[in-house]
Structure 1
Amino acid sequence: MVAMLKLERCEICQGRGRIQGIFHRMECAGCNGGGFVTPDGKPLEYPVLVQQLRLRLARSGNERRMMHAALEKAGLWPLSGPGDDYVGRSNRRGVGGGNMTGD
């Protein structure tokens, strides 16, 4: 099993993985295009970078599912509001057909 490493945001590209050159955008050399570096500022090699990003993506997906389940349990999901009246309705008169403009 691969352990999640402590990573920091790349200061050169501000974590975006790309920098603006004179004529075009290019991959950041400070982080190998990943947006993350080790705490001592060294870029990760591509296989390690892919593993670490995959681990973080899986963790965020798990956190999202747990939050979604907690909202459902609390009765706060699905969200509802005034816009629900307009979802699923069809406008048989076409674009602007149900709206009087007063012209």
Structure 2
Amino acid sequence: MKKSQGPAFKKAVIELAQCPLCRGRAVTQGVFHELPCEHCNASGWVVASTGGSLTLDELVTQLSMRLQSALRQIEQLKDPQASWPEETYQGCNRRGAGGTNYTGD
């Protein structure tokens, strides 16, 4: 069933790239001082496919989605899972007689 009216059920993730004018710094060099980059709304990010800037509301949403994804990756890297042979040997796999641990030794 295809939805025909109203906003989308899930927010689409837009691929972002560094602004080519400010190189992701969010400011450009003026004659005497740095000025906010007009091309990327002083964020340092543009739409990767078109190179255009995002509205401020959309920019906040996209950056928040990127931040949440990065935080999930950091948490996964902080808590590494044991490799398969080690996990099988150290943990209880319930493959032995009567549901006991089987190590293959």
TM range, smaller chain: 0.5 to 0.7
| Counterpart position of 1:30 | 39
TM-score, structure 1 normalization: 0.64
> How far, CA to CA, are the matches of 2:79 and 2:60 in structure 1?
29
| Counterpart position of 1:64 | 74
Counterpart of 1:19, as a letter, is T
| Counterpart position of 1:95 | none
Counterpart of 2:28, as a letter, is I
| Counterpart position of 1:52 | 62
> How far, CA to CA, are the matches of 1:66 and 1:20 in structure 2?
39
| Counterpart position of 1:8 | 17
Give the number of equivalent residue pairs. Answer: 73
> How far, CA to CA, are the matches of 2:32 and 2:43 in structure 1?
21
Unmatched tracts of structure 1, length 5 or more: 75-103
Q: Root-mean-square deviation (CA), in Å?
A: 1.6
TM-score, structure 2 normalization: 0.63
The structural deviation recorded for 1:34 is 1.4
